[in-house]
Each structure stands twice: as structure tokens, then as C-alpha cells.
Structure 1
Amino acid sequence: MLVATLFIAATMLLAKALGTDALGPGLPPFMVTFGRFLFAWLAITACLAAVRPRFTPPDLRTHALRSAFGFTGVTLMFAAAAAIPLSDATAISFLNPVFAMMLAIPLLGERVGRWRWLAAGIALIGALVLTRPGEGTVEVGALFALGAALAYGVEVILIKRLSGRERPLQLLFVNNCFGLAFAAVGAAATWQTPTPAQWGAMVALGSLMACAQFCFVNAMARADASFVSPFVYMTLVFAGVYDAAIFGVIPNAIGSVGASLVIAGAGLLAWREGRLRQAASAPAPFQPLPPRRPD
């Protein structure tokens, strides 16, 4: 999971470089998303050609919905990365489990207790701080990141519906097929010929994203989700380090406070989910059988 977060933060850094003038005229977010899906699809397809796993009939309707929201989230996130500090955009994206929790009430019929609502409230306050409404204008990049978190939250709900019926590699492959189709349409509408450096960055972006997905899936398969999920927040640390080292962007006090609140809320939610899973999987206490009456 730590390696996955290292790769995810690197993809955010590359998205920022592609969306600004660091490697040439900044590319539109749809172009960056197209590069991400194109080269991730090529990497995953090469992996499947080597492994040749068995696929089951996919639920194409749910896959299409999942990929549409994932494509929307990725595009908005790349737009946010180009507009605001990486640490702020990454912190706001951590709202996706909060939105997933809220959406699970009407979509999955789940019940939410006071601890979950408390965690959601803390994280949402942190997001409000990161949008900086008191400075006269709301950060547009922060709104992009909020939209990305909401889209990711819907995607999580749809992944829950698919994960029990299809294997992880199949989920990755079908998702990237749909995502590439959506991204191709967006790129065609906003096409701008990338420079050689930008092509190289998009190759790295897609490859790193495929590696991050592979590491994430393996982390979830090899350990309890309640154990590995908190390590996702290391993405914020790596993103901040990359942003400071490459672009010289240092998080200010407002960004640090907002990010801390978002992480505190999301971390509390992850802790509570872990406790609930442990309670559900714990064996029932031993109950001795009542003494039998003599016949």
C-alpha cells in the first residue's frame, strides 16, 4: 500500500506538470486523462497477455457506470492538481470514503451511526477550510477536487457491487477499457498535440497508475482492509514532498489545518469501519449446552 501511495502521488505530480507549462503549453484535463487511460490500458493488457487469467461474464452496465464516474473523478482531479497545491487537492480527494458512506444509505440501504456522522462532519469541515471561502473567492481548484471526491465516492459504491462477483484483474481491465473509450471522446473534443516531453510524461503517468492499481489490489488481497487502508493517507505526504521539491510549493497554515481535519475525519471513519468488521467477524462466545435430563 505504501508503494501504491508513492505511485499515486507521482501521477498527481505528472498531471500537474502536464496541466501547467512545465513541459510545454499546458494540456487540457481531458488530454491528461486520455494519456492516463491509454497507457494504463496498454500496461494492463500486456500483463493479462502474460498471465492469461480466466474471466467471468462481466456486468457491463455496472462497469460502464463505474467507469463513467471514475473517468469524471480522474479528470476533475487532474484539473485540481494543475490549479492548487498537490497537498490540498490530495487532502480533498480523501473525502471519497465520506461521500461513499453517505451514498450507501440510499443506494445500499446501509445504516449510519453517530460515530460515522461525526467522522463525516470533521472531514467536511476540513474540506470547507481548504476551499478558503473567507478569502473572498472560493478556490476553483478545490471545487474540482470536491467534485472528484464525490465521483470517486459513487465509484466506490459501484465497485462494492462488482467486487464480490468478478476478479480484481477483470475489474481493472474492463474499467480501463471503458475509461479509455470515454477519455478518447473527451480528448478528441479538446485535442492539443503534446510535445515529446508531454508524451513521455503521459507514458509514465499511465504506467505508474497501472502499477499503483496493481499494488492496491494486492494490498487488499494480502491483509485486512482495516489494517492497510490508513496507509493510503501517506499519499498526502508524498504529494507534499513532490510539490515542494519540484514546484517549490509549501503548504500554508490554512492548507495544513484543512488537510489535518480531512485526514482526521477520514481516519476516524476508517477506524470505525475496522472495528465494525472485527465485531462482525468475531466468533460467537462459547455457550455450553444445557444439561440433558435423564430419560
Structure 2
Amino acid sequence: MTTRTPNPTIAILFMLAATTFIAGTMLLAKMLGSDLLGPPLHPLQISHGRFLFAFLAISSAVAVLRPRFTRPHLPLHIGRSALGWCGVTLMFAAVAFIPLADATAISFVNPVFGMLLAIPLLGERVGPWRWLAALMAFCGTLILLRPGADTFQITALLPLGAAVLLGLESIFIKKLADREAPLQILLINNAIGLTIATCAVVPVWMPPTPAQWAGLGALGIIVAAAQACYVNAMARADASFVTPFSYLTLVFAATYDAVLFDVIPDRISVTGAAVILTGASLLAWRERRLQV
């Protein structure tokens, strides 16, 4: 695996591109799960399209680049892929029911769950600053869940469940990243994810309209582009430096929602998102301090 020279400016540009693409995947999932492109597709079918076309895009890149692969750790890959498929499917289901900005904000609890799960699974120690960041993110999530009898959004539990699963997936990714090259991880992940998604989609599959086929294809390609940009960003700067720029996904998601669906975040959404982002930023700042 080639070691790249650190370049914070290029890393930021790659992360900004990744955030644009990630918000775009959420937008496409919402369009496919609504009646904008035809009869609403089931989240399992949207997830299947995401893995199908992402696998085709990544395998094409592998065919052109012909990188050298090492022996994969299949148990880790299977665990990571199963968790990723479940998390992605829950997120695609969520955006069909709640605003993109709310779903995106709740998904930012993902690194907090990853931190908490690293305690028993990786034996990592968590200090008071990390606990404070986790508490703030949790409080922000409660605000977005609107826990009043008349305002509670049961569907907001979907992105929360996705955040838990994707946080656990990050543990597997961390273990894999120490063993294998990024392109190998992406290829195997999408191959296994496609296998799982294909088995799961059979009972609910319906013929997509031409517009939906185009949307599914765009979804998979954009996911692959987002993953490539994210990996390149991480390769050129410390994760603690570049991760906060990923929070701009929330800005893009809110913009897409406002322009295409006329959904403007209310005060509760803005407050909850601000609290979550503050907690996540505190966590990123603390991680950077620990590396200095």
C-alpha cells in the first residue's frame, strides 16, 4: 500500500467532495422512496441498487488499476458488510419519512457509538472529554426525537438505529484498515453487501421505472465516489483534522431538502443538530489534542 504525503488542503477538498456526494445519496434515496420517480421503492430494493451499482463501479476501477491484493480476513469482512448493509438500509428507510437534515444530524451520533463500543471491543480508554462529547450528542439526539406525546417521531429511531450499527461497523473497519488496502476493503465489502442485499430484496422486488433505474445507478456510483473521496481524504491528513469537515453533509442535506422538497428546518431541528455537531466537534478536537 502506497504511503501518501500529508496534504491538509487536498484532504479538505476530498472531504468536501465526499460530503456533497453523501448528501446526494440521501437525496436520491428519498426520491426513490417517494413517488417522485415512480411508485415508491422498498428500502431493501434501494439498498440493493446501492450495492449493485457501487460494486460495478468499484470492480471496474479494480479491473483498470489492477492493484495487488493480500489474503482477506473474511470473518471481519462479513461482520463489517452485514452491519453496513443493515445500517444503510435503515438510513434509506428513515429519509423517506423524516427531513434529510434530521436524519443526517442523527447519523452523526455514529462516531460517538463507535467510541463507546471501542471500550469493550478494542479495550480503549475514554476520558472525561470524550464522555462529555458523547453526552452532548445524546442530548442533541433526544431533541431531534421530540420526546413529547404529540411530537415524538417514531421514524426518527430509524437513523438512530443506523448510527448504532454504523458505529459498530467502524470497529470492524478500524481492524480491517490495519490489515488490508482500502480498495481491497471496498471491493470485498460491496461484493458481500451485494450478496446480502440480493437475498433480502427478493420478496419485495418490483420492476423499477426507467427514471428509478437511473436513480439507482446514480446512487451506486455516487456512493462509490463518496467512498473514494473519503478514503483519499483520510490518506492525506489525520482523521481528527479532516473529520469535522464531514459535518458539512448536514448543510448540503438541508439545502437539498429546502430546494427540492420545500422542507425548512424548524427551531427544534436546528437546535438538536447544533448540539450534536458541537458534541461531535468536541470529540474530534479532543482526538486531535491526544495526537499532538
The reply to whether TM is greater than 0.5 is: yes
Match of 1:98 among 112, 118, 121: 112
1:178 and 2:192 aligned: yes
The amino acid of 2:230's aligned partner reads F
Q: Helix, strand or coil for the counterpart of 1:53?
A: coil
Query: Aligned runs of 1:230-269 on 2, under 5 Å?
Result: 230-269=244-283
Q: Does 1:44 align with 2:58?
A: yes
8 Å contact kept, 1:116–1:269: yes
Alpha-carbon distance between aligned partners in 2 of 1:246 and 1:232, rounded to the nearest angstrom: 22
The two structures, once aligned, show a CA RMSD in angstroms of: 0.8
Percent of matched pairs sharing the same residue: 61
Following superposition, the deviation at residue 153 of structure 1 comes to 0.3
Instruction: Give the AA of the match of 1:98.
Output: V
Determine if the alignment matches structure 1 residue 127 to structure 2 residue 178.
no
Partner of 2:99: 85
Cross-structure match for 1:224: 238
- Amino acid corresponding to residue 144 of structure 2 in structure 1: L
Q: Distance in 1 between matches of 2:146 and 2:206?
A: 32
Pick from 121, 138, 154: which aligns with 1:107? Answer: 121
- In the alignment, the residues of structure 1 paired with residue 116 and residue 129 of structure 2 have an alpha-carbon distance, to the nearest angstrom, of 13
- Out of 182, 185, 191, the residue aligned to residue 168 of structure 1 is 182
Aligned to 1:210: 224
> What's 1:153 paired with?
167
Aligned match of 2:12:
none
Q: What do residues 170-200 of structure 1 show as CA deviations (whole Å, max 9, x unaligned)?
A: 0100100011011111111211211111110
Report if the CA contact (8 A) 1:81-1:141 is conserved. Answer: no
Measure how far apart 1:135 and its partner are. Answer: 4.5
Larger radius of gyration: 1
Counterpart residue identity of residue 113, structure 1: G
Structure 2 unaligned residues grouped into runs of 5+: 1-14
1:187 and 2:201 correspond: yes
Question: 1:134 Cα deviation (Å)?
Answer: 1.2
1:136 aligned residue: 150
The residue number in structure 1 matching 2:5 is none
Deviates more, 1:54-63 or 1:127-136: 127-136
Equivalent-residue separation in structure 1 for 2:88 and 2:136 (angstroms): 24
Residues 82 and 196 in structure 2, CA contact (< 8 A), matched pair in contact too: yes
CA drift of 1:137 comes to 5.2
Tell me how far 1:141 sits from its aligned partner: 2.4
Task: Report the CA distance between 1:133 and its aligned residue.
Answer: 1.1
- 2:31 maps to 17
Number of aligned residue pairs: give it: 278
Counterpart secondary structure, 1:133: coil
Q: Distance in 1 between matches of 2:121 and 2:215?
A: 38
Q: What pairs with 1:263-282 in structure 2 (closer than 5 Å)?
A: 263-278=277-292
TM-score (norm 1): 0.93
> Which residue number in structure 2 is paired with residue 74 of structure 1?
88
Select 2:210's aligned residue among 196, 203, 210: 196
Does the Cα contact within 8 Å between 2:241 and 2:284 map onto a contact in 1? no
2:72 corresponds to: 58
